[in-house]
Amino acid sequence: MQQDEVAARVRQVIEATGVSAREFARRIVIDPSKLSRSLNGTRRFTAAELARIADIGGVDVGRLIGATGGAAGEVTAGAAATPSTVCSPSPSRSPSPSPEGGRPLQIVRETVRLIAERGFHAVRVADIAAACHTSTAAIHYHFPGRDELLEAAVRWCMDEDTRRRAEATAGTRHAGDELRLLIELQTPRTEQQRRQWCVWLDLWAEAARSTTVGRLHVEYYRQWRGTVADVIRRGVEQGVFRPVDADGAALALTALIDGLASQVLAAEPGLPGTGAPAMHDALIAHVDACLTAPASG
């Protein structure tokens, strides 16, 4: 019964924020399916998830679990050095000024930035806390362990990548133009794109060792290849691309993007023929040679 009551209170928090459940899941940095199962009562919210929900909703964790004093302490036992407001029995609290998107997203964004600069294993919780102008206890409050923080960082990168692609290609009807846009987005031209690729390279290594990150990696690439394959299928229907196996072509093109991007990042800056423009030209040449339908006479 208490689990159902917690879920009902979380629903109230989501409704009060005025965003969809999927967007709320993005803000608290968990898989939308996990949030859905927790709201439906088939999965329990973790202590860290409740902490992030309270942070985003500007409410007290004690309010979410309908407890005071010791009971709240039991639920938050997994979160080190819980702020004193967590166990407050007051029905609500005025949210203190917080970073855009809330503290959990700030922590994840700074984690991603530091991973890009130093590599995951060189980033300490103390480094993340310093970047967020907070304490290590506050980091552990939202993300008790490095594994959970890494998972959140991977998911945030996936969501950001998907969002940027959707925004850039919205309204594009010509499949050839859309595929070229997707290639441009995946080419490490800007500093932000280079940072994103540095994070992906680090996460590939982690995916080979971590079951959790590996599953996220598989999920992301399934979505990414599916997006490319759908564009290719539409291009075939439009007569823009020659008839091809869309799934096989998407696999080849995305693998080529990954391989070229890793070479661009590893090469000495400014070395002729190894930069992002050369990568972009090579990818477009591949599309023209392997996919683009010949112009009719």
| Phi then psi dihedrals of residue 171, to 5 deg | 85, -5
pLDDT of residue 160: 85
**pLDDT tens per residue across all 297 residues of the chain:** 577 888 999 999 999 988 899 888 888 888 888 899 999 989 988 888 888 898 888 888 888 877 644 333 333 333 333 433 333 333 343 444 456 667 888 999 999 999 888 988 888 999 999 999 999 998 998 898 887 888 888 888 888 888 888 888 888 889 999 999 999 989 888 888 888 888 888 877 777 777 777 788 888 899 999 999 999 999 999 999 999 999 999 999 999 999 999 888 887 666 666 688 889 999 999 999 999 988 765
Distance (Å, whole) CA 77 – CA 73: 6
241 forms beta bridges with 292
pLDDT of residue 290: 92
Please report the DSSP string for 138-173 in residue order: HHHHH--SHHHHHHHHHHHHHHHHHHHHHHHHTT--
Q: What does the radius of gyration of the chain's CA atoms come to, in whole angstroms? A: 22
Q: Which of 165, 135, 142, 157 is nearest to 230 (CA)?
A: 165
pLDDT of residue 204: 79
Distance (Å, whole) CA 102 – CA 108: 10
| Phi then psi dihedrals of residue 182, to 5 deg | -60, -40
Distance (Å, whole) CA 103 – CA 118: 22
Distance (Å, whole) CA 289 – CA 282: 10
